[in-house]
Amino acid sequence: MKHVIGSTSNGSSVYVDLIRSKAAKQISAQPQLLVFAKEAFKGLALSKDSIEIEHDMGRTIGYDFTIETNDKDTVFYAQLIKATDFTPYVKNGTPASTTHLSVILKKASDDEYELLDMWVGKMSPPLPGSENATAKSALYWSSHAIIYTNQAIQTRSLTKTSPY
């Protein structure tokens, strides 16, 4: 289901699939993301085919649950429900308030972009093993984790051994 969010400063419209996209999961949990995204897109002139943006909203918009880890942290790995890649988690951690909104877009046509993913917090590379993983993924996620807050995980996938 195509839902138009807003338009950019150079006239491109931005939409999100509220059923099938990764962004849909985030939006269902945090509907205010649509308002933040609309505000962020107003000042952007988009032209590339694939775009990753870390936008500073200029005010606190929520909490970033991705934290840097060290040897003292107990990190565990699990797959979210309906996911095949493993996410690193920590139980003890404090989310940091943030002014950043991260978005991933792809050009759908000459004057249209699809919002693929969006979250409150700074940009981070895709998880290792995911279809969009980069050379930076394994290095980044070997020293970062997401604070576990009752995410729906596949309990059979739970492990303390890094799958990367």
Convert 132-149 to b/e letters by CB count within 10 Å (16 or more is b).
ebeeebeebbeebbbbbe
* pLDDT tens, residue by residue, 26-82: 999 899 999 999 999 998 899 899 999 999 999 999 999 999 999 999 999 999 998
What is the model's pTM? 0.89
Q: What is the pLDDT of residues 117-153, one digit of tens each?
A: 999 999 999 999 998 899 999 999 999 999 999 999 9
Q: Are strands 86-90 and 144-147 parallel, antiparallel or unpaired?
A: parallel
CA atoms within 13 A of residue 109's CA, in its CB half-sphere = 7
